Amino acid sequence: MPADRSSEPDQKTTLSQGLDVVRVLVRSGTPLGVTQVGQALGIYKSSAHRLLQILGKLGFVQQNPATLRYSLHPGIFGFIHEFASQFGPNTRVDPLLRAAASRLRCSVYLSMLGGRDTYVVCAAGDEGNTTQLGTHGPVYASSAGKILVARRPESEWPDYAPHPGDPTITEHTSLDPERFYKELRAARENGVAWNMRETTVYHASVAAPVNELLLPYPRMAVALLVRYQELPVHDRETLAGEVMALARQVSGAIATTARN
C-alpha cells in the first residue's frame, strides 16, 4: 500500500533543504546568486548561504569567483553515477538489459514501484539513455506499474487506481478505474501488462515482474519499449514471451547477487 504522509508535519531538514537548492539550480539553467536561491525557496539569505556552503564542501555546487553566483559542480554527476551503478540490482542487471536491447532492437527498462508511481532505475537501448534514469509516472499509465500492482492483493488495487483529477499523460491515458482493474486481471492471468501509448503517444511497452527472495510481492519489473508504429513488426505475442524470459533472467541475477 502506498505510504500515506498526509498527516506528517511539514518539517524541513538540512538534507531536504539542500536537495531543494540542488533542484533550484538544476531548473534555473543559469547560475544564481544567494539572494535568488533564497527567494526561490522562501528562506532567509543567511540560510541559503549556509546551504550553498555545505553543498560546496560536498562538491555538489561551485561558485564563480567573478560573479559570486552558484551553479552545479560536475562532481555531482560522479555521485549520481556511483549511486546508479552500485545500486544492488544494477550491477548484474545492466549487461542483461544491454544484451536484450541489442538482440531485440528495442529499449529495455528496469522499473521500481514507489508509492503510486514507477521509477526507472536502469535502462538500455536507443531510448534508454542517461535522461531516462529516475523518470517516473503513475502506475495506471505504466506497463511496469500495472504488472506490479496486479501481483498484489486485489484489496490494494483501489489505492493505485486512477482518481478524479489525476493527470492524463496522453490522450490514450485512461482514468477509468474499472478499465484499470480489467487490465490488472488480464495481467495477472497472462503474466505481462501493456502500455499502449499511455505514457507517450509514440511508444508501446510490455512488462513482466522480477521476483526477489524473501519479498512477498515484486517491487521491480522489466519492460520492453518499442515505437508504436513498429509494434506489428515485433509481434505482441513474441514480445510478451521475450519480456517474461528476460524477467526470469533478471530475477536469477538478483538472487545470485543477494546470496553473494
Residue 132: per-residue pLDDT: 78
Could you state, in order of their start, the residue ranges of all structural domains in the chain? 14-77, 87-259
Residue 241: helix, strand or coil by DSSP?
helix
Return the CATH fold of 14-77: Arc Repressor Mutant, subunit A (1.10.10)
Res. 82 pLDDT band, cuts 50 70 90: confident
Mean pLDDT over each residue of the chain, to the nearest integer: 90
What would the grid cell of residue 215 be? 519479498
Residue 161 predicted with pLDDT over 50:
yes
Burial of 160 (0-12, 13-18, 19+ CB in 10 A): buried
Residue 8 predicted with pLDDT over 90:
no
Of all residues in the chain, the percent with pLDDT exceeding 90 is 72
pTM: 0.78
Indicate if the alpha-carbon torsion angle 233, 235, 239, 242 is positive or negative.
negative
* C-alpha distances in Å from residue 240, one per residue of 69, 190, 199, 205, 245: 52, 9, 19, 10, 9
Task: State how far the Cα of 35 lies from the Cα of 118, in Å rounded to an integer.
Answer: 36
* CATH hierarchy code of domain 87-259: 3.30.450.40
- In the numeric block, the cell 500515506 is attached to 4
